[in-house]
């Protein structure tokens, strides 16, 4: 089974991190492996990629004519790929050497059509003591309660997900209205493609916790104001996703129920038994982030309603300050 790993990048100021990502994929223990690098409309970055990786066997290089966004770039990478399976990793993540081995093992041992793995936070700076594990999803990492090993989920996160290539392309790949494009970012762009796969094939994504990538988290991702803003725009994006895919509502309701009825009471109990300033901060932060998501969703609801009253299509969200 041949596997193609698609890595998309776009900015010179993160080239060193991107290069570390590519090197970790090239060092995988699995063969046969193909690496497809898509540069999103930046000729300077593409020239450097060609210089560093152009003569490497099994590496395919492509540059979009202009900035098209992460969803377009990933789908284009899958179209260029020749593997039976196409896997995706963010350009600021590093894969463990057996990452692809673990993904492939699930395909070989089961009838899976999509397999994801565990995204671990890799704090480049010291982890903020106020940041609760329940909200790691804000920074693209697996949160507390995300899923059990080998459980079938709706989707895993974009830095560690794979599909049978024909299945992925048969449902149209990623929705270009979602994902990062410049300073606009509608979150959770894995959800639409995975819901379309489930609707067509009746299967979700198998979650193999042993297939591990480490997602780098830089200083700004630990900034409280940035995270509150991120929470707000996540809420806005969830409202847009509800319009595009009403089926997506169920997972959010289940998560909110687990958060408020299971994790918050556990935190309260732990705090009573063993008082701790960081634990107290994290409990408060749970409520602040939850409220910010709620306000973002409400803003999206009102914004969409205004568009409908004017007879317009719901707009893509305004620029998300947390992406700048």
**Are 204 and 156 within 8 A, CB to CB?**
no
Answer yes or no: is pLDDT of 131 > 90: yes
Q: What is the pLDDT of residue 233?
A: 87
Distance of CA 21 to the CA centre of its chain: 15
CB atoms within 10 A of CB 284: 12
Q: Which has more confidence, 324 or 45?
A: 45
Mean pLDDT to the nearest integer, 41-51: 96
pLDDT in tens, 172-192: 999 876 655 444 455 567 888
Q: What is the pLDDT of residue 178?
A: 62
Q: What is the pLDDT of residue 241?
A: 76
Q: What is the pLDDT of residue 252?
A: 66
Mean pLDDT to the nearest integer, 85-105: 98
Q: Where are the domains of the chain?
A: 3-224, 231-323
Answer yes or no: is pLDDT of 128 > 60: yes
Q: What is the pLDDT of residue 272?
A: 92
Using CA atoms, how far apart are residues 313 and 122, in angstroms rounded to an integer? 39
Per the DSSP assignment, residues forming a β-bridge with 215 are 93, 121
Average per-residue pLDDT in the chain? 89
Using CA atoms, how far apart are residues 73 and 9, in angstroms rounded to an integer? 9
- The CATH fold assigned to 3-224 is Spore Coat Polysaccharide Biosynthesis Protein SpsA; Chain A (3.90.550)
Q: What is the pLDDT of residue 186?
A: 57
Q: What is the pLDDT of residue 238?
A: 83
Residues sharing a CB contact under 8 Å with residue 166, sequence separation 6 or more, in sequence order: none
- In Å, what is the CA distance from 26 to each residue of 88, 101, 248? 14, 13, 35
pTM, full prediction: 0.89
In order, the DSSP letters of 1-47 are --EEEEEEE--GGGHHHHHHHHHHHHT-S-SSEEEEEEE-S-HHHHH
Q: Which has more confidence, 296 or 248?
A: 296
Answer yes or no: is pLDDT of 57 > 90: yes
pLDDT in tens, 287-302: 999 999 999 989 888 8
Of 10-24, 75-89, 127-141, 185-199, which gets the smallest average pLDDT? 185-199
Answer yes or no: is pLDDT of 193 > 60: yes
Mean pLDDT to the nearest integer, 50-68: 95
Burial class (CB in 10 A: 0-12, 13-18, 19+), 261: exposed
Read off the tokens for 7. 């890595």
Using CA atoms, how far apart are residues 134 and 264, in angstroms rounded to an integer? 10
- Under the banding of pLDDT at 50, 70 and 90, the label for residue 322 is very low
Of 209, 211, 107, 110, the C-alpha closest to 166 is 107
Using CA atoms, how far apart are residues 92 and 195, in angstroms rounded to an integer? 26
Q: What is the pLDDT of residue 321?
A: 41
CB atoms within 10 A of CB 3: 24
For 33, how many CA atoms within 13 A lie in the half-sphere containing its CB? 22
Distance of CA 16 to the CA centre of its chain: 20
Place of tokens 């900035």: 67
pLDDT in tens, 142-175: 999 999 999 999 999 999 999 999 999 999 999 8
Distance of CA 181 to the CA centre of its chain: 14
């Amino acid at each position: 089974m041949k596997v193609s790993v698609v890595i998309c990048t776009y900015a010179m100021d993160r080239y060193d991190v991107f290069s570390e990502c590519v090197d970790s994929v090239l060092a995988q223990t699995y063969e046969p492996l193909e690496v497809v690098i898509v540069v999103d409309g930046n000729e300077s970055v593409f020239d450097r990629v060609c210089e560093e990786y152009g003569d490497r066997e099994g590496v395919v290089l492509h540059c979009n004519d202009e900035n098209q966004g992460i969803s377009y770039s990933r789908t284009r990478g899958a179209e260029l790929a020749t593997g039976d399976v196409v896997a995706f990793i963010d350009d600021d993540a590093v894969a463990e050497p057996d990452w692809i081995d673990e993904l492939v093992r699930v395909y070989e041992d089961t009838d899976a059509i999509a397999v994801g793995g565990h995204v671990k936070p890799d704090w480049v700076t010291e982890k903020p003591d106020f940041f609760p594990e329940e909200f790691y999803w804000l920074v693209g990492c697996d949160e507390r309660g995300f899923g059990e090993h080998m459980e079938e989920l709706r989707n895993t996160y974009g830095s560690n997900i794979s599909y049978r290539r024909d299945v992925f392309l048969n449902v149209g790949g990623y929705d270009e209205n979602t994902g990062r494009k410049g300073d606009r970012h509608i979150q959770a762009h894995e959800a639409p493609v995975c819901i379309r796969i489930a609707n067509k094939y009746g299967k979700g994504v198998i979650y193999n916790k042993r297939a591990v990538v480490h997602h780098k988290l830089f200083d700004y991702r630990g900034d409280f104001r940035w995270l509150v803003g991120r929470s707000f725009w996540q809420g806005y994006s969830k409202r847009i996703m509800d319009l595009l895919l009403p089926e997506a509502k169920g997972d959010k309701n289940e998560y909110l129920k687990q958060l408020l009825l299971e994790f918050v009471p556990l935190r309260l109990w732990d705090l009573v038994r063993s008082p701790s300033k960081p634990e107290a901060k994290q409990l408060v932060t749970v409520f602040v982030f939850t409220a910010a998501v709620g306000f973002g969703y409400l803003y999206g609801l009102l914004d969409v309603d205004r568009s409908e009253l004017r007879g317009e299509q719901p707009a893509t969200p305004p620029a998300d300050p947390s992406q700048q």
